[in-house]
Amino acid sequence: MNYGKQSVDEKDIQEVISVLKSNYLTTGPNVLKFEGEVADFVGSKYAVVVSSGTAALHLACLAVDLKEGDELITSPITFVASANCALYCGAKPIFSDVNKNGLIRPEEIKKKVSSKTKVLIPVHYSGLSCDLENISKVAKENNLILIEDSCHALGAKYKNSKIGDCKYSDMCIFSFHPVKHITTGEGGMITTNSKELYNKLIMLRSHGIVKNDEKYVNDSHGPWYYEMQELGFNYRITDFQCALGSSQLKKIDKFISKRREIAKKYNEAFEKNSNIKILKESENTFNPYHLYVIKVKDSETRLNLFNYLSAREIFCQVHYIPVYLQPYYQKLGYAQDICPVAEEFYSKIISIPMYPDLTEEEQKKVIKSIGEFFGR
């Protein structure tokens, strides 16, 4: 068993097949339908679906004109895309340290803000929500654009606000990779309450092209006319992917309920084990559990546990190596130890199997195997 995988059933497959037999394979009605459904689910005014979570991060940064000379603050405990989106725009990623749960800390963000800081991207790690209220205060005090990286957090809640409703932020990013809460194969989404940002995102998603008489710079040549007004990208997504997304979204509550049920059993099994620390959701938050992460004593213990489980065909993962330790970032001059808590956190964590189709028998095997490892 793996640390995560998609849950696709016959209904999902039939929805995709029906689109493959239709007139629209891309940029058709299913794209708009899926966008509207996600916006309704999270409570935002607008949603823009794109080809990946990475594309969503990039477009969000482009939409606020992040550019060379600017800085973007984010967490080092994340997938590289959360920082790479700054580099794509010619800006510089700045890494801010995390707390014991791997979440970026408002007080650490304050230390990293400079006159060049333009964008702040907190990461809702593993399904746990960041301290959005205080992070939002830092953003407002320093006139920063706040973009939530919520690729782990579809269905999460913070103080009775759904992650994605953009109550505290300018935009929110989701991923629909197969290991996420719902999947479109590959795919991502940007939610926002700003019509201006929405229109910019729609344009940038498709080469920077506009097809609207009221927005043309020059006179129209006829009904076929269009204008490329900015340097955009082909970050569109297909209709059959969106049909899969719509079908998956119908089951999101069931998926999250099963994930929380699995997490509850893990919690009960590990809470009294002195060799393991679990990541607990804080008060006034709701964790949909994209990942189930445990912390062990040190990196040697983590490696031995990882190999022990692998030998029993329980394939885990580590989320994540601090981004600035990657060779590419080292070549750019990022030093080790700039976020010591993040590095210590990384040295101890391991993600164990967590997905809706995980059976009771499989979970018992995981729990038993981890117990046997520490009981040797």
164-205: pLDDT as tens digits:
999 999 999 999 999 999 999 999 999 999 999 999 999 999
Mean pLDDT of the chain: 97
Helix or strand (DSSP H, E) at 116: none
pLDDT: is 307 or 375 the higher one? Answer: 307
Domain 10-249 and domain 252-374 have a common topology: no
pLDDT at 25: 96
The pLDDT tens digits of the residues spanning 109-168 come to 999 999 999 999 999 999 999 999 999 999 999 999 999 999 999 999 999 899 999 999
299's tokens: 């990196």
pLDDT at 279: 97
What 8-state DSSP symbol labels residue 336?
Answer: T
pLDDT at 56: 98
Topology of the domain covering 252-374: Aspartate Aminotransferase, domain 1 (3.90.1150)
Q: State mean pLDDT over 71-86.
A: 98
Q: pTM for this structure?
A: 0.97
pLDDT at 143: 98
Reply yes or no on whether the pLDDT at 248 is more than 90.
yes
Topology of the domain covering 10-249: Aspartate Aminotransferase; domain 2 (3.40.640)
pLDDT at 196: 98
Reply yes or no on whether the pLDDT at 376 is more than 80.
no
> What count of residues does the chain have?
376
Cis ω before 308 (30° cut-off from 0): no
One DSSP character per residue, 137-190 reads HHHHHTT-EEEEE-TT-TT-EETTEETTS-SS-SEEEEE--TTSSS--SS-EEE
What does the domain layout of the chain look like in residue ranges?
A: 10-249, 252-374
233's tokens: 């990208």
Q: State the Cα angle at 284 between 283 and 289, rounded to 5°.
A: 85
Continuous H helices in the chain: 10-20, 29-42, 53-63, 81-88, 106-112, 132-141, 195-205, 239-249, 252-270, 299-311, 327-331, 340-348, 360-374
Give Cα separations from 114 to 70, 134, 141, 158, 333 (angstroms): 10, 18, 12, 28, 19
pLDDT at 347: 98
pLDDT at 160: 87
Q: State mean pLDDT over 297-304.
A: 98
Reply yes or no on whether the pLDDT at 287 is more than 80.
yes
pLDDT at 353: 98
Reply yes or no on whether the pLDDT at 83 is more than 80.
yes
Cβ contact 222:253 at 8 Å: no
Reply yes or no on whether the pLDDT at 16 is more than 90.
yes
